[in-house]
């Protein structure tokens, strides 16, 4: 995978109020229709043709693009490594970063980067569009303009939002608290377990009490992933064969167990035995709720107490996206034993202690 650099002149020499790096990965934002009426990525070097108002932001903007932009359904940890390495390499010479990304897996990528960029104290704002920017009614224009404004916003020379976020449809959300909840409306994302960080109206109103304080020290990049992880979603009528197929996967290191309500599961003897056997083999099982809001409280009901007794780990109020990417990085960087200890700690504001 390669990156190409695109120059975007939006400020007079010496007049820029901030230096911002845009990383264009692909997604609906940069799509246009080909001769067959199919949406395909356009070259980001033509973005000023679609968004001439970028010239009015008085920002020193540099853009880099995936040489071959991708649909976010094709995103992989290798792409996360590429995005994070660009931010890491350019960190000292830019005041903020905007990542243009497809919406389908944006919450996964934002979550992953929140854990990868350890010690982050600058804004990394993800955004995109539900309609291509080439469309007359595209939401991409406002999303990008405001994301750039937030990425460059400072108070007393300090960045206002020194964390990984998603900006979409007039709301700024913590990246590792976000989920995609809508495919046909512009309000594509929600963070059910955490307040909105900012709302954009005539002015941008920041919820300062919800924004993370800037980290001390230098930026450290965690970039080693363990991808032998599965997501097992419980449902009425689930069979032993289905569960066994997951727990018996060769090389499996961890399972995200999506349970009901506050962490509840059927009390079927065979299910508890399957999960217990997996834990005894060294497989980490993290319990997260299928609900978009709320948290896992193991032992509150009998239907979660047995999970607690066999050594299942509570995921508290983490999203599936955060739990998955966090486990990938913790196991990859520190090994399974340390990952079991660290998974319940808040590393980047992803859970409420």
Partners of 127 in the beta sheet?
A: 100
Instruction: Spell 202-222 as b/e; 16+ CB within 10 A means b.
Output: eebebeeebbbeebeeebebb
**Burial status of residue 7 (CB atoms within 10 A of its CB: 0-12, 13-18, 19 or more):** exposed
Tell the residue number behind the tokens 């399972």, with chain if given: 255
Query: How far is Cα 286 from Cα 256, in angstroms, rounded to an integer?
Result: 5
Distance of CA 24 to the CA centre of its chain: 15
68 among known catalytic residues: no
Answer for the pair 140, 31: CB distance below 8 angstroms, yes or no.
no
Q: How many alpha carbons lie under 13 Å from residue 329 in its C-beta half-sphere? A: 28
Neighbours of 37 (CB within 10 A): 6
Handedness of CA 12, 17, 18, 23 (dihedral sign): negative
Select from 79, 48, 54, 84 the least CA-distant residue to 66: 79
The DSSP secondary structure of 65-85, one letter per residue, reads: EEEEEE-GGG--HHHHHHHHH
* Pairing outcome for strands 229-233 and 198-200: unpaired
- Among residues 28, 105, 127, 259, the one annotated as catalytic is 28
Q: Would you name the residues annotated as active-site residues?
A: 28
């Amino acid at each position: 995978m390669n990156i190409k650099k695109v120059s975007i002149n939006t400020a007079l020499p010496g007049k820029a109020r901030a230096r911002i790096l845009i990383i264009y990965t692909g997604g609906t934002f940069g799509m246009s229709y080909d001769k067959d009426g199919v949406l395909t990525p356009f070259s980001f070097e033509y973005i000023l043709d679609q968004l001439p108002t970028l010239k009015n932001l008085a920002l020193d903007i540099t853009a880099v693009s995936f040489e071959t932009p991708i649909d976010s359904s094709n995103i992989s940890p290798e792409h996360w490594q590429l995005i994070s390495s660009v931010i890491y390499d350019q960190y000292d010479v830019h005041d903020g970063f905007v990542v243009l990304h497809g919406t389908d897996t944006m919450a996964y990528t934002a979550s992953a980067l929140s854990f990868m960029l350890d010690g982050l104290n600058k804004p990394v704002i993800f955004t995109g569009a539900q309609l291509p920017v080439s469309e007359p009614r595209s939401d991409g224009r406002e999303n990008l303009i405001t994301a750039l404004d937030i990425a460059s916003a400072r108070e007393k020379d300090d960045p206002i939002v020194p964390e990984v976020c998603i900006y979409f449809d007039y709301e700024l959300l913590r990246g590792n608290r976000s989920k995609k909840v809508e495919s046909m409306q512009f309000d594509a994302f929600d963070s059910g377990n955490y307040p909105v960080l900012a709302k954009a109206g005539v002015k941008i109103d920041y919820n300062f009490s919800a924004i993370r304080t800037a980290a001390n020290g230098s930026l450290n990049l965690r970039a080693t992933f363990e991808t032998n992880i599965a997501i097992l979603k419980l449902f009425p009528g689930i069979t032993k064969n289905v569960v066994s197929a997951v727990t018996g996967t060769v090389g499996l290191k961890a399972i995200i167990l999506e349970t009901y309500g506050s962490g509840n599961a059927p009390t079927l003897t065979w299910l508890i035995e399957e999960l217990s056997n997996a834990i005894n083999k060294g497989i980490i099982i993290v319990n997260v709720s299928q609900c978009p809001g709320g948290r896992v409280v193991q032992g509150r009901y009998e239907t979660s107490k047995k999970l607690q007794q066999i050594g299942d780990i509570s995921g508290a109020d983490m999203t599936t996206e955060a739990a998955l990417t966090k486990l990938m990085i913790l196991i990859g960087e520190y090994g399974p034993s340390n990952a079991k200890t660290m998974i319940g700690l808040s590393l980047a504001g992803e859970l409420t202690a």
